[in-house]
Amino acid sequence: MFMGEYHHTVDMKGRMIIPAKFRDNLGETFVLTRGLDQCLFGYPQSEWKILEEKLKTLPLTKKDARAFTRFFFSGAIECELDKQGRVNIASPLLSYAGLEKECVVLGVSNRIEIWSKDKWEEYFAASEESFSDIAENMIGFDI
């Protein structure tokens, strides 16, 4: 399980250190793709396979299912960590998430998320204001 918030930077070559606490759970290779809310999602291979199987069951005849599957898979890349624990993030993913220098790496249960620092702070501030409402809506999920 991934949890926690870590602040790192992306260098001029698009490399970023993955927090040491996340490296073992990500494994030798992992999948990085466009996430929701303009961040990147990173999945260990085992979690990616589960997600891939679920997405394969979406009906090809539904426009939203096709669009979501295209969005998710077309941005996906298989990544490896170098000896310093860095990942090289592909240019289209850097652009999508607005990663230029400072970034935030979050552990979110079965995945990691990589955010630009500015976008994370905006998202967190907006969500913090409505956290009570969000929590109230989660009651039906037995949390």
Instruction: Report pLDDT digits (tens) over 57-67.
Output: 999 899 999 99
Is 121 part of any domain? Answer: no
The three-point CA angle 76-79-84 to 5° equals: 150
- Asked if residue 58 belongs to a domain, the reply is yes
Q: Is residue 21 part of a domain?
A: yes
Its pTM stands at: 0.91
Show pLDDT as tens, one digit a residue, over the chain (143 residues).
Answer: 999 999 999 999 999 999 999 999 999 899 999 999 999 999 999 999 999 999 999 998 999 999 999 999 999 999 999 999 999 999 999 999 999 999 999 999 999 999 999 999 999 988 877 777 777 777 766 55
Q: What is the CATH number of the domain that holds 81?
A: 3.40.1550.20
Structurally, the chain folds into a number of domains equal to 1
135 in a structural domain: no
At residue 64, the pLDDT reads 93
Domain-embedded: residue 123: no
Residue appearing with tokens 């997405």: 55
- Is residue 110 included in any domain, yes or no? yes
Q: What residues make up the domain containing 84? A: 2-116
